[in-house]
Amino acid sequence: MTSLPMNEEHVITESRLISLNSKFASEYLNGDKNSSVSFDFNGIARKDARVLYHSIAIQSAEIPASYYIVNTTNNVINITEGILTTNVTIPVGNYNADTFATAFIAQYDILFPAAPNFAFDPITGKFGLVSGTVNSNITINLATTTAQVILGIDPKAVGTVVFTGNATNTRTPFPRLANFLGITEIKICSNALAGDNYDSVSLNTSTLVDTVSTTATAFGLTIYNSLGRESFIKAKRIDEIDIQLLDQDDKVIDFNGIHWNFTFIFNTHRRKFFSNDDGIINFEKMEKFEEAKVKPEPLKEEIQTLQLENVKEEIEPEPEFDDFDDDVLLN
pLDDT of 101-158, one tens digit each? 999 999 999 999 999 999 999 999 999 999 999 999 999 999 999 999 999 999 999 9
CB of 274 closer than 8 Å to CB of 313: no
Q: How far apart are the first and last CA of the chain?
A: 60
241-258 average pLDDT score: 96
Does residue 12 register a pLDDT over 90?
no
Q: Is 141 exposed, middle or buried (0-12, 13-18, 19+ CB in 10 A)?
A: middle
CB of 116 closer than 8 Å to CB of 136: no
Query: How far is the C-alpha of 44 from the C-alpha of 190, rounded, in Å?
Result: 15
Query: How far is the C-alpha of 50 from the C-alpha of 319, rounded, in Å?
Result: 7
With a pLDDT cut of 70, the percent of the chain lying above it is: 79
Angle between helices 283-291 and 297-310 (to 10 degrees): 150
Q: Give 263's strand partners.
A: 19, 60
Q: Which helix (H) or strand (E) holds 304?
A: helix 297-310
203-207 average pLDDT score: 82
pTM value is: 0.78
Taking only the tens place, the pLDDT of each residue in 32-50 is: 999 999 999 887 888 788 8
Query: How far is the C-alpha of 149 from the C-alpha of 142, rounded, in Å?
Result: 11
pLDDT of residue 206: 85
pLDDT of residue 329: 43
The phi-psi region of residue 260 (left if phi > 0; otherwise alpha if psi is between -120 and 50; otherwise beta) is beta
Q: What is the DSSP string of 108-130?
A: HHHHSSS--EEEEETTTTEEEEE
Where do you find CATH 2.60.120 in the chain?
Answer: 7-67+183-273
Domain boundaries 7-67+183-273, CATH class: mainly beta
